[in-house]
Amino acid sequence: MKRRLTRKDLKIYKEKLINLKEDIINQIRDISEDTLMKSQKDISGDISGYSIHMADVASDNYDREFNLGLVSGERETLLEIEEALKRVEEKSYGVCRMCEKSIAKTRLKAIPYAKYCKKCQEETEKGNRI
């Protein structure tokens, strides 16, 4: 049951992947600028000459770590999008990499970089939990 996507479908998904990639790159840039480019005083909004309270430092550090975690997750998604774009070029996009059956279009609309059909994705996730 290797029903391949049409050229028109591939073009639509390629556009969707490229747009998603651009959105994520912009999000990473915004988060990075907000998180990494500001000093401790800029982050806290403190313009006085007084030192910064340790609780504020801890809170700011937590926010920074949280944002860096978001960026890391977004980078993982970017890699998956790049892989999906390669599959589009190779005409193997939309085919499950485990069972080689077609991935449902509804799944591809929700997760355009999906590399497994729903059933195989669930099997993969079960294996990771063990």
Q: What is the torsional sign of CA 39, 40, 45, 51?
A: negative
pLDDT tens sequence across 68-87:
677 777 889 999 999 999 99
Number of domains in the chain: 1
Band (12; pLDDT cuts 50, 70, 90): very high
| Structural domain contains residue 125 | no
Residue 22, domain extent: 7-94
| Structural domain contains residue 25 | yes
| Angstrom distance (rounded) from CA 68 to CA 83 | 23
Per-residue confidence (pLDDT) for residue 40, from 0 to 100: 47
* Global pTM value: 0.70
| Structural domain contains residue 118 | no
pLDDT tens sequence across 47-74:
554 555 566 666 667 777 776 677 777 8
